[in-house]
């Protein structure tokens, strides 16, 4: 119908021109989301939600394989419960949505819409846990949470978002620490192997830890604009919540003890990470493991061969529909060129073109989204090649992201170097830091870079002079500007 | 450790003694849920949530197989949006929770916590739909909703509950009606085949329809106490919402037209239906299709044969763990009798006992939860018999429920008979009704029975004299007291 193929892509600002605008254009244009008529809230459209469903399925399997069960706790938290843990309320009170009326009546106590569920879950755990026999409690929930954000950005920071939050209870400190690190490891495995996003894991500083936690660990990813994104957190809560919510158990030694807890979560912000790590000027590049459509078949229809071409395309769907997420675009009102652009923009990992010439030659033309490489595949090779191409694409996306991160990780020895690198090159900057909040704060104020994490030492821990104050025996940490 | 096996079951009031108390005791004692510190809200504990996860999986597959995709829309609805459709706001405004403050500031406009999502979804559809090419829109969402209820009851009526809500848009009246009925059929198929709960489908009266709908259809189930439960609804919304939200499309004939819509939903209340249809004095009886644990292995441990018995039990888990949801209860602090009671109460469809004598005889003892029947199964027969026993149990639960419903469905010809039957026997009562709201209202006021639905005619529709006013050509409807 003569639609101009090139117009399509023009509606998205090229990534190389303006990363931020590219992101905003892309999430709308590819129908991942749309803005809702509530400040800072979004509708996640089917194409975006299908990515989340794939993430949920792959992560839920891991959460269950490590012995956790899902449950569901109330959306509302009585204000007095949220206020029990001092640091927790200080961290979250300024950003909560508050329900004051229910069924046309003013409530006796205001209800907080959960920004996270420690308070409500701990109030239940206090009822459920009496004896060492009741431990460990290993529960996870998938739900929505609300944090009233001033500056919002689709997927990365919205007033309401979807996430999972694990909440576990243990009889010893050691077991809680082990759980905290185990789940951080689960997140790293999930994000690297399913989302093809390489991450650094480590400990958050006191300033950056979760409000109410003893220690927070995180996985940190580097976006293609050189900014970091916290992709998941795992908290050792110590006995902070157990003490104020009175979660006590009678131990084997007949002593009544406060329990040890953890919590950990990842959210729909991971969709933002996937976009910003893998996307390019032509649009999304989705890792096959989480792509809603892994293979898109585009029949190249000419007048003479229409039925034969369509039959072959339909056969591909029936041959591979059970093992791959494969679809066909047989819309008559769009040209093949338009479709190529659309599915490239939507990040489908592999495109198969079936035209009269492919039929004659007994195969299909395949185009990889990650490399743009075009190849002819004979029909007989499809059953082996399609899955292995998808594996290749998944691995290549990870490799490209890791190479990018390595190129954009600098090591600096002085504060001047740190400032310059953050300003000019961005990326992760490794530098020694003494552990003092004052140095951290002053560096942040001047450079807008925060300490993303104190990485787990590989082999012997290297120490040196704090890049800011010069103190000896400082640890190597990762600085970056972050989302 | 000498725990008294019989004490366990005593903590639950027998069903035959007090149905209502039995229900409340059972949902707590089997750890399906617990009361939360927010009025009318509950925590769904892992055992209850696992039932919901199984329901979700089985229904989601059907929703997708009929061409629908999942998405996610915001929790909050600006008050002005809810007010657009006159009947809709009248129905829902009295029972909404209202957010008035966000991030410590008073909001310019109050936000309703969604009681259902027509308003927010229609506001998005108005942006997304321009042309006949954009239709049909077939979207579903799984989420939480809040309705501020005065009288609550676990699973059946809680201030917050979980559900799925489908929202579709079509270009013609006929297509919308077809969709409405198709999804009602999907619900019937799902509830009867997965939950083993037989249902009557039909049309709701004007008085009982969804606030804002043109027509509401429902599936209605009969609980074991003779009260009915609305188990799912499917609404033809006509153009009611399209007109106030301005959902218009340019049709093939170049005319701008208002779209036709449907919505449909089922909720966690279905868990209540399963409990009340199948449960007995000994506790839950869960249909294998949705039971979190289908087979519980209880090793009967004696001093001499401990390791052999445990090994055999573990082998059963590894042999059948891939195809069945099978678990083992090897807790040492509880006696076999205690465990038998516990897993019967928790409704596990099949129990396998492995003791020294079973080992000698080369098999296991199996006990069906639905019939109490005990049988010996030789090891070689397990691979065939276990799955087929579960199918038998599923079918038997359905048959028992259908027989119960048939025995408790009465046909009456006069209002006196109707009153007496509702009072004495309860159950479904079939009677002729003229279609007038006045007759319906007066019957309800006096008998507390409502018209559950106007069933779809089987063959020629039988008509007669209205049981209340005597008007001719009245239709046969189902009356019952309902949850």
DSSP B414: S
Residues with Cβ within 8 Å of residue A390, at least 6 apart in sequence: A288, A294, A295, A324, A349, A350
Give yes or no for a cis peptide into B420 (omega within 30° of 0): no
When pLDDT is averaged across residues A452-459 and rounded to a whole number, the result is 91
Residue B129, pLDDT above cutoff 80: yes
Nearest by CB to residue A144, choosing from B111, B144, B149, is B144
Contact B97 A77 (CB under 8 A): no
How far apart (Å, rounded) are the C-alpha atoms in residues A396 and A292?
19
Whether B21 shows a pLDDT value over 80: the answer reads: yes
- Asked if B76's CB is within 8 angstroms of A160's CB, the reply is yes
By the 8 A CB rule, do B142 and B268 touch? no
Task: Flag if A45 and B71 touch (Cβ within 8 Å).
Answer: yes
Q: What is the DSSP letter of A32?
A: S
Q: Flag whether pLDDT at A333 surpasses 90.
A: no
Question: Rounded CA gap, A62 and A54, in Å?
Answer: 13
Beta bridge partners of B154: none
Closest partner residue to B104 among A43, A94, A128, by Cβ?
A94
Name the pLDDT band for B333 (thresholds 50, 70, 90): confident
Model confidence over A364-398: pLDDT tens digits?
Answer: 999 999 999 999 999 999 999 999 999 999 999 99
Q: Chain A residues with CB inside 8 Å of B111's CB?
A: 38, 97
CB proximity list for B419: less than 8 A, separation 6 or greater: B446, B447
Q: Which two tokens stand for residue A68?
A: 């956790």
Cα-based angle A146, A152, A156 (whole degrees, multiple of 5): 80
The chain B residue lying nearest A103, using CA atoms, is B95
The partner residue sitting opposite B99, judged by closest CB among A53, A94, A99, is: A99
Q: Which residue has the tokens 């819409």?
A: A113
Q: Is the pLDDT of residue A9 over 70?
A: no
Residue A36 sits at the chain B interface (C-beta within 8 Å): yes
Contact between chains at B74 and A38 (C-beta distance less than 8 A): yes
Question: Nearest C-alpha of chain B: how many angstroms from A436?
Answer: 30
In a mutagenesis test of the B interface, which of A50, A75, A267 is the best target, namely the one with the most B β-carbons within 10 Å? A75
- Tokens 């639960």 -> residue: B397
Can you say how many angstroms the Cα of residue A81 is from the centroid of all Cα atoms in its chain?
Answer: 29
Domains of chain B in sequence order: 8-278 (3.30.930.10), 295-391 (3.40.50.800), 409-480 (3.30.110.30)
A46: nearest CB among B42, B101, B139: B139
Q: So what's the ipTM on this one?
A: 0.96
Helix (H) and strand (E) counts in chain B:
15, 24
b/e per residue A194-225 (b: at least 16 CB within 10 A)? bbbbbbbbbbbbeebbbbbbbbbbbbbbbbbb
What is the distance between the alpha carbons of residues A242 and A80, in angstroms, rounded to a whole number? Answer: 16
Q: Is the pLDDT of residue A315 over 60?
A: yes
The mean pLDDT of A432-458, rounded to a whole number, is 96
Q: Which of residues 268-307 of A touch B (CB under 8 A)?
A: none
Chain A nearest CA to B200, separation (Å): 31
Q: Is it the case that residue A180 has pLDDT exceeding 70?
A: yes
Given this model, what pLDDT does residue A1 score?
Answer: 34
pLDDT tens by residue, B83-123: 999 898 999 999 999 999 999 899 999 999 999 999 999 99
Mark yes or no for CB contact B120/A37 under 8 Å. Answer: yes
Using CB atoms and an 8 Å cut-off, which of residues 129-188 of chain A contact chain B?
133, 139, 143-144, 146, 148-150, 159-160, 162
Taking CA–CA distances from B45, the nearest residue in chain A reads: A71
Q: What does the radius of gyration of chain B's CA atoms come to, in whole angstroms?
A: 25
d(CA A337, CA A320): 24
Quick one: average pLDDT of A330-356? 96
8 Å CB contact between B95 and B149: yes
Q: Compute the count of residue pairs across chains A and B with CB atoms less than 8 Å apart.
A: 160
The Cα-based distances of A217 to A55, A198, A237, B282 in angstroms read 21, 16, 11, 47
Per-residue confidence at B10, pLDDT binned at 50, 70, 90? low
With beta carbons under 8 A apart, name residues in chain B contacting A43: 71-74, 124
Answer yes or no: do B74 and A36 touch at CB < 8 A: yes
B411-421 average pLDDT score: 96
pLDDT digit string (tens) for A65-92? Answer: 999 999 999 999 999 999 999 898 999 9
Q: What is the pLDDT of residue A7?
A: 56
Q: In Å, how far is A309's CA from the nearest CA of chain B?
A: 24
pLDDT computed for residue B5 by the predictor:
54
In whole angstroms, give the CA distance from residue B388 to residue B386: 5
**d(C-alpha A390, C-alpha B443), whole Å:** 65
| Residue owning tokens 């093992």 | A323
pLDDT digits (tens, 9 = 90+) for A28-79: 999 999 999 998 999 999 999 999 999 999 999 999 999 999 999 999 999 9
Per-residue pLDDT band for A3 (boundaries 50, 70, 90) equals: very low
**To probe the interface with A, which of B33, B36, B50 has the most A CB atoms within 10 Å?**
B36
- Give the minimum alpha-carbon distance from A137 to chain B in angstroms, rounded to a whole number: 11
CB B235 within 8 A of CB B91: no
- pTM, entire model: 0.96
Percent of chain A at pLDDT exceeding 70? 98
pLDDT value at residue A2: 39
Give the sheet arrangement for strand A374-378, strand by strand.
Answer: A326-328, A295-299, A350-354, A363-368, A374-378
Contact residues, chain B, for A42 at CB < 8 Å: 74
Q: Could you report the per-residue pLDDT of B140-165, keeping only the tens digit for each?
A: 999 999 999 889 999 999 999 999 99
**Residue B3: which pLDDT band, with cuts at 50, 70 and 90?**
very low
A456 HSE (CA, 13 A, CB side): 12
* Alpha helices in A233-350, H assignment, sequence order: 240-245, 269-278, 306-320, 336-345
Q: What is the mean pLDDT of residues B327-335?
A: 94
Q: Testing the interface with A: which of B73, B81, B103 to mutate, by most A Cβ within 10 A?
A: B103
Using CB atoms and an 8 Å cut-off, which of residues 70-109 of chain B contact chain A? 70-78, 81, 93-104
Q: What are the φ/ψ torsions at residue A239 (nearest 5 degrees)?
A: -110, 15
Mean pLDDT of chain A: 95
Residue of chain B nearest A109, judged by CA positions:
B38
Please tell me the distance from the alpha carbon of residue B193 to that of residue B189, in angstroms, as a whole number: 6
Choose the closest CB to A76 out of B38, B81, B162.
B38
Close Cβ partners of A67 (under 8 Å, ≥ 6 residues apart): A138
Which residues 426-455 of B have a C-beta within 8 angstroms of A? none
């Amino acid at each position: 119908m003569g639609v101009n193929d090139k117009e399509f892509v023009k509606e998205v600002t090229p990534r190389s021109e303006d990363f931020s605008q590219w992101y905003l254009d892309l999430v709308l244009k590819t129908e991942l989301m749309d803005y809702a008529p509530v400040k800072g809230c979004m509708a996640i459209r089917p194409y975006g939600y299908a990515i989340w469903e794939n993430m949920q399925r792959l992560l839920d399997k891991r959460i269950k394989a490590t012995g956790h069960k899902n449950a569901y706790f109330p959306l509302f938290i009585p204000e007095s419960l949220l206020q029990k843990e001092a640091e927790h309320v200080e961290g979250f009170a300024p950003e909560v949505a508050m329900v004051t009326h229910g069924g046309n009546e003013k409530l006796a106590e205001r209800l907080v819409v959960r920004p996270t569920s420690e308070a409500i879950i701990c109030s239940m755990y206090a009822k459920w846990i009496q004896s060492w026999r009741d431990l460990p409690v290993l529960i996870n929930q998938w739900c929505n949470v609300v944090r009233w954000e001033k500056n919002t950005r689709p997927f990365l920071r919205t007033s309401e978002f979807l996430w999972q939050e694990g909440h576990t209870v243990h009889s010893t400190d050691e077991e809680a620490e082990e759980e905290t690190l185990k789940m951080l490891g689960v997140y790293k495995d999930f994000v690297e192997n399913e989302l093809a996003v390489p991450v650094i894991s480590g400990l958050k500083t006191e300033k950056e830890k979760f409000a109410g936690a003893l220690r927070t660990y995180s996985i940190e990813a580097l976006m293609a604009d050189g900014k970091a994104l916290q992709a998941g957190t795992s908290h050792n809560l110590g006995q902070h919540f157990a003490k104020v919510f009175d979660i006590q158990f009678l131990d084997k030694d007949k002593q009544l003890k406060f329990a040890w807890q953890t919590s950990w979560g990842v959210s729909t912000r991971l969709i933002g990470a996937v976009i910003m790590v893998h996307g390019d000027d032509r649009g999304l590049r989705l890792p096959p493991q989480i792509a809603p459509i892994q293979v898109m078949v585009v029949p190249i229809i000419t007048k003479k061969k229409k039925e034969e071409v369509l039959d072959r395309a339909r056969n591909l769907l029936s041959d591979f529909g059970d093992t791959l997420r494969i679809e066909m675009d047989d819309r008559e009102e769009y040209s093949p060129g338009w479709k190529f652009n659309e599915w490239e923009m939507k990040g489908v990992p592999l495109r198969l073109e079936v035209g009269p010439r492919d039929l004659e030659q007994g195969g299909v033309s395949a185009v990889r989204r990650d490399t743009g490489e075009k190849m002819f595949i004979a029909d007989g090779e499809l059953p082996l090649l399609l899955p292995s191409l998808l594996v290749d694409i998944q691995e290549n996306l990870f490799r490209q992201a890791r190479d990018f991160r390595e190129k954009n990780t600098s090591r600096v020895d002085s504060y001047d170097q740190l400032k310059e690198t953050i300003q000019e090159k961005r990326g992760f900057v490794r530098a020694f830091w003494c552990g003092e909040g004052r140095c951290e704060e002053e560096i942040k104020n001047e450079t807008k870079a925060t300490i993303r994490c104190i990485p787990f030492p590989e082999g012997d821990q290297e120490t040196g002079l704090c890049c800011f104050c010069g103190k000896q025996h400082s640890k190597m940490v990762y600085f970056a500007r972050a989302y």
